Amino acid sequence: MPSAIHYRLLGQAVTFSLHAGNCVAMFLNMQNEVLLRDHKIRDMVSLQSRYLTVWNIVFQMVYFSLAFACDVTTVTGKESLIPKTLRQFRQRFFAAVIFPVAVLIFTIFWPFFIYDRELLFPAFIDKIFSFESNLVMHFSILPAVIWELAFLQRPIPKSHKINYVIVTLINIVYNSLLVHTYLQRGLFPYPIFYMVFGTIFFPILLGVVYITSISIYIYQWKLTAFFWGQEKKKSKSKRK
């Protein structure tokens, strides 16, 4: 029977393939000269590196390729090919970056998209990104990380300080880049920021996003305990 590692390999291969195929499709669409005559689309294309969704695609492609390499070498009995430090990095990368960012995007994007998509993902973007591309970027990312979490047995860290620092740094770097881009070019990747920038609601919005990120990070260990029963094991060992 397949073990957890085989299910992980399946999920990793599917996720990487989805992102790779979607990236090719989006890249080809962004070369369409007719579409690029629309200044809104030109601005959007020029802001690619400012979208958290794009950051997440890069994060996931790096992580799932690394995870696949780690797990393949384990299955084939060639673990020594992947240094122990790289395997440890894989665990921290998932805990502090991959899971929190993916769940954050899913949690924020879909309520806004359903309520008023113009706040985050204006309708003109449909000219360049298909509905299927939207699903890969904003929907499939959640089952991908849940699948990985469900089949990846991890010890609950004794200290979460380093991971908290990483989550915090990602928020600081991304928010700083947003403000820097606006001050230099007068552009935000997400329309909602035009509405709140310069008001008290801008720092409040960023604060809510940060708190949500930390909450998601914490919640992953509840899910890990649910799938692997680690909290029960810890409580039993304390009684002994």
Instruction: Give the pLDDT confidence score for residue 111 in this predicted structure.
Output: 97
R_g over Cα of the chain: 20
pLDDT at 138 over 70: yes
Domain range list for the chain: 4-239
Which pair of structure tokens corresponds to residue 86?
């790289």
Which residue blocks in 30-160 are alpha helix, DSSP H?
Answer: 39-46, 52-75, 84-93, 99-116, 131-138, 141-151
pLDDT tens sequence across 97-110: 999 999 999 999 99
Which long-range CB contacts under 8 A does 126-130 form with residues at least 24 apart?
A: 127/35, 127/38, 127/41, 128/26, 128/29, 128/30, 128/32, 128/35, 128/41, 128/44, 128/45, 129/26, 129/29, 130/25
The model carries a pTM of 0.92
Instruction: Give the pLDDT confidence score for residue 22 in this predicted structure.
Output: 96
Instruction: Give the pLDDT confidence score for residue 1 in this predicted structure.
Output: 56
Provide the pLDDT confidence category of residue 115 given band limits of 50, 70 and 90: very high
Mean pLDDT of 160-184: 98
Q: Work out the mean pLDDT of the chain and round it to a whole number.
A: 93
